[in-house]
Amino acid sequence: MGMDLYPGYMNYLAGGRLKELAAGLLELLKECTVCPHHCRVNRQKGELGFCRAGWEVEIAGYGPHFGEEPPLVGWSGSGTIFFSHCNLGCVFCQNFEISRGKEGEKVSLEELASIMLALQERGCHNINLVTPSHYVPQIIAALSLAAEEGLRIPLVYNCGGYEERSTLESLDGLIDIYMPDFKYADPEVGMRLSRAPDYPRVAKEALKEMHRQVGDLEIDARGLARRGLIIRHLVLPEGLAGTREVMDFIAREISPYSYINLMDQYYPAGEARRYGALARRITAAEFGEALRAARRASPHFRLEFS
């Protein structure tokens, strides 16, 4: 493997630093403050908080994925692991059965490490952790095992943007590529659609911390993501996502050169049909306005569409 894909977590293997970090994070589960909900339940004893995830990791599947952003997919796919449960309650979730925990298989830390290694063996360009926020301690513990056994590909932290800053700070140097959503600009919308009234404030702090750690997206000569930040924004009907405010914030306080996936793929999933405007897809005019908002915010944005 070329040094241009040397993953950050390799710097933590020497002297058992990665194992020590994992042990410290696992202690957080005794009175869980891993995410912004601060439920303070003892997950080591199986108590459940907002996310409904306990001590054991549950996954809904894994494998090479070719539907992600091109710099992640390459020619062999992104090594995706779909974690069950979620620390958001999005009424329109397109993975409703996974996020609500009705689909999932319990895996040990050793099994999770083996999955990471198997994805590398299949030629995947990265390990893509989908909805990892509530399992950060267990993931880092499994990463420690996998790295000791030869894992050498970058880590992608693929999340909803509702992240605890102190948890992110503990990941500094471990995550190569952060890929958060930035869902809403309006706290009321965050409460009504995701049960997170502080979503805009929390997401802004999270994106700032992620960008501090990894910077703008770097793509190597082969077209593969090496390190950096990818931001996803799903355009919602009737401007519910606050796209203009989101784009202005990114340009002003993250980077005018940000890599942004502006998504027009919204459809009424989950409980969306009970929420007025969410009962329909977005129109071409609505997406056009979102695109203009992004281009007005910064002509230097690297825009991807899906």
Strand partners, 61: 82
Strand partners, 57: 107
Q: What is the pLDDT of residues 48-105, one digit of tens each?
A: 999 999 999 999 999 999 999 999 999 999 999 999 999 999 999 988 778 875 678 9
Average pLDDT for 126-155: 98
Q: Is 42 helix (H, G, I), strand (E, B) or coil?
A: coil
Domain edges within the chain: 3-24+56-305
Q: How far is CA 43 from CA 53, 54, 105, 153, 264, in A?
A: 8, 5, 17, 30, 37
Measured in residues, the chain has a length of 306
Report pLDDT for 175.
Answer: 98
Report pLDDT for 5.
Answer: 52
| Predicted TM-score (pTM) above 0.85 | yes
Whether the pLDDT of residue 4 is over 50: the answer is no
Q: What is the pLDDT of residues 240-283, one digit of tens each?
A: 999 999 999 999 999 999 999 999 999 999 999 999 999 999 99
Whether the pLDDT of residue 1 is over 60: the answer is no
Please state which architecture CATH assigns to domain 3-24+56-305: Alpha-Beta Barrel (3.20)
